[in-house]
A and B are shown apart, each in its own frame.
Chain A
Amino acid sequence: MTEPAPAPQDLMHPGHVGCPGCGAAVAMKFAMRALGEKTMLVIPACCWAIIAGPHPQTALKVPVLHTAFATAGAAASGLRAALDRRGDNETVVTVWAGDGGTFDIGFQSLSGAVERNEDFLYVCYDNEAYMNTGVQRSSATPFGTRTTTTPGKGWKAQRKKNIVEALAAHRIPYAATASIAYPDDMMRKFRKARSMKGGSRFIHVYATCPTGWRVPSEMTVAVARLAVQANIFPLYEVEDGVRYTLNASGDRPAADYLQVQGRFKHLTPSDIEAIQAMVDEDRALLRRKIEMSRGEG
């Protein structure tokens, strides 16, 4: 690592109003340690719009712009332009959005902003459904999940949108995945993203939701680790849309990950086999990209 880590300073304090075991709260704690106080947060409608808590218990010690659901990428673009005008090159404008506000309603504003290669960091903490309104499916909800709008036999039969590949396809300087079960890797990525000024950086954070996934709150980190070990959520980075680096993955079967969560309890062995096939396919695709970028390097 070329850049020395900033002094670890907690900018997220006790008093947040997340559910017990909230992965998104854990993610914010690590992210803010890496980003430091010269950070502005743009938060669209999402769990974190509530988690930050009311005054005087508010958990965040940096400026927060809580903006309309569909507008995070655009609001961050405006803030960046104003900071540039003021000559402030130090403050990092950081979007902190859920999967609904990133994959669905916010995707247009995000895509528009990164096509302009706006100088900001966009973080999606992904809990794989609309949790703040009570667990409705999003395009980040994985195949096989039961939610309140994919109930019973109507569990979600579509694959999860691959948001990192969609962002990499915009050829932005940096796109990466990160997990709360791998805090060193996660903080390294946030520090790297912070230092890569001048263009759009995107980090996709896996954030366990015990409430919506129906797992015990003490399993938050264990489930996040399983997701990486089972290759459901491999940790990797993409620079300029073409240079791939794998940071962590594993060889555990998808079943190990699926079977500890209530949201997948209904799946039959053949459903799980089908999911394993998708995981294998995704893994092979990612490997080919990594090998291709090695060949180019």
Chain B
Amino acid sequence: MNNQVKFVQGNEACAEGALYAGLDFFAGYPITPSTEIAERMSIQLPKIGGKYLQMEDEIASLAAIIGASLTGHKVMTATSGPGFSLMQEALGFAVMAEIPCVIVNVQRGGPSTGNPTHVSQGDVNQARWGTHGDHAIVALTASNHQDVFRVTVEAFNIAETYRTPVVLLFDEVVGHMREKLTIPEPGEIPLVERLKTSVRGGVDYHPYLPREDGRLPMSDFGGVHRYNVTGLFHDMWGFPTDNPKIVQGLLRHLVDKIENNSHKIAMYKEYYMEDARRILISYGSAARSALHVVENRRSRGERLGLLELQTLWPFPYNVVKERCSGARSVTVVEMNKGQIADQVKAAVDDPGKVFLANRVDGVLITPTDIRNFLRVIQGRGI
């Protein structure tokens, strides 16, 4: 269908993906470079009977979607670095209370107000460890609008499957760039819907008692079951406890449900990897420049490959280790001080062959930049 082809910003592709996934509640607060997501939601949601709420700050935005999710809705908020910093407490609450929700961070230069209208990938580690305490987190990213759409849908699927917040780490270039997006037909991408409890009203329901497969069926808050939700360590009823055995069990559950399924959560794309002797690993807008270099070098017969990561957390250590085992060098292309390069070094057998090709000046890393890094790595000078 022709009207399903759109020419949009990445932020709009994200909004479209969320609507496709079944989102009907969005709460947000304006911040560059993510504002277009909120603006799109304020137009689209009333049309489908959904609700857009503009909040007084980012703390309120995440808290509002957590509340709405508990009552049975698919929810999202969107922000950038400073707002994501304010959301960290509520992010930990969503981890602890196991509330499905999606948080978009369209990255800009930081720290602090930083470089609001320019690109960065500096929030990778913040997504992993921004909130306090031991925990696991899911963070996804994408380099083009079709993938932004797809990954956004997957974010909702993962959030529902594992009862967890999912972070979408896009960046300013992907968010503001315009390119073609084809909206898939309904049903083309499978959707994971809320797993509802089969326990009838009037019968005891345990919100934190996993099924045999580890999943926790939910009951719409305020519906037929009365139960408790808290950021404190809690038992299977949801009531607070400091019983060491239960505390340890819950913490392990929160980490294991994500880490033990990292192979299922891992999303990535491979370009010319089958015979590659040198490998680039990249993600987000940086991966577009990396792909350009790889295609250019391939046309000259050089055996260069690209592993484009879409799942950043849980980091796909096994995938990276296996794909890089025969490579002479692995160059991580990213726009930060090596936040994913550190993970790649931890994954491969020989960290000495891992190099970083980066830019941290608010400008998209170019194919020329990457080529210059590769020349140095190969001992050929600039």
Are A and B associated in one complex? yes
Contact with B along A45-67 (1 / 0, CB 8 A): 10001000000000000000010
Stretch at the interface among B27-35, B125-133, B315-323, B349-357: B27-35
Task: Decide yes or no: A149 and B82 within 8 Å by CB, A49-B113, A68-B113, A105-B56 being known contacts.
Answer: no
Contact with A along B35-47 (1 / 0, CB 8 A): 1001100110010
CB contact between B82 and one of A68, A107, A139 (< 8 Å): that residue? A68
A107 to B86, CA, bound (A): 15
B30–A133 CB distance below 8 A: yes
CB contact between B39 and one of A100, A105, A107, A148 (< 8 Å): that residue? A148
CB contact between B31 and one of A133, A137, A150, A154 (< 8 Å): that residue? A133
> Does chain A have a CB within 8 A of B228?
no
A130 to B32, CA, bound (A): 11
A151–B82 CB distance below 8 A: no
CB distance from B83 to the nearest CB of A (A): 9
B52–A149 CB distance below 8 A: yes
A215 to B227, CA, bound (A): 53
Which B127-144 residues have C-beta < 8 A from chain A?
none
Which A123-176 residues have C-beta < 8 A from chain B?
130, 133-134, 136-137, 139, 148-152, 154
Which residues of B are found within 8 Å of A139, using beta-carbon distances? Answer: 56
A45–B42 CB distance below 8 A: no
Which residues of A are found within 8 Å of B57, using beta-carbon distances? Answer: 69-70, 104-105
CB distance from A26 to the nearest CB of B (A): 24
B113–A130 CB distance below 8 A: no
Which residues of A are found within 8 Å of B2, using beta-carbon distances? Answer: none
Interface of A is mostly: mixed
> Does chain A have a CB within 8 A of B54?
yes
Which residues of A are found within 8 Å of B86, using beta-carbon distances? Answer: 70
| Best-buried of B32, B39, B46 by chain A (most CB within 10 Å) | B39
B39–A68 CB distance below 8 A: no
B30–A69 CB distance below 8 A: no
CB distance from A138 to the nearest CB of B (A): 8
CB distance from B142 to the nearest CB of A (A): 23
A151–B42 CB distance below 8 A: yes
Which A residue sits closest to B38, measured CB to CB? A149
Which residues of A are found within 8 Å of B31, using beta-carbon distances? Answer: 133
> Does chain A have a CB within 8 A of B198?
no
CB distance from B20 to the nearest CB of A (A): 21
Which residues of A are found within 8 Å of B38, using beta-carbon distances? Answer: 136, 149
Task: Decide yes or no: A66 and B113 within 8 Å by CB, A104-B56, A148-B39, A149-B30 being known contacts.
Answer: yes
Which residues of B are found within 8 Å of A130, using beta-carbon distances? Answer: 30
Which residues of B are found within 8 Å of A151, using beta-carbon distances? Answer: 39, 42-43
A241 to B39, CA, bound (A): 38
| Best-buried of B38, B56, B112, B113 by chain A (most CB within 10 Å) | B56
A133–B35 CB distance below 8 A: yes
A137–B54 CB distance below 8 A: yes
B contact residues vs A (CB 8 Å cutoff): 29-32, 35, 38-39, 42-43, 46, 52, 54, 56-58, 82, 86, 112-113
**What are some 5 contacts across the A-B interface (CB < 8 A)?**
A66-B113, A68-B112, A105-B56, A105-B57, A134-B35
A contact residues vs B (CB 8 Å cutoff): 45, 49, 66, 68-70, 100, 103-105, 107, 130, 133-134, 136-137, 139, 148-152, 154
For the complex of A and B, the 7 pairs showing the least CB-CB separation, nearest first, are: A105-B57, A104-B56, A133-B30, A136-B30, A149-B42, A130-B30, A148-B39
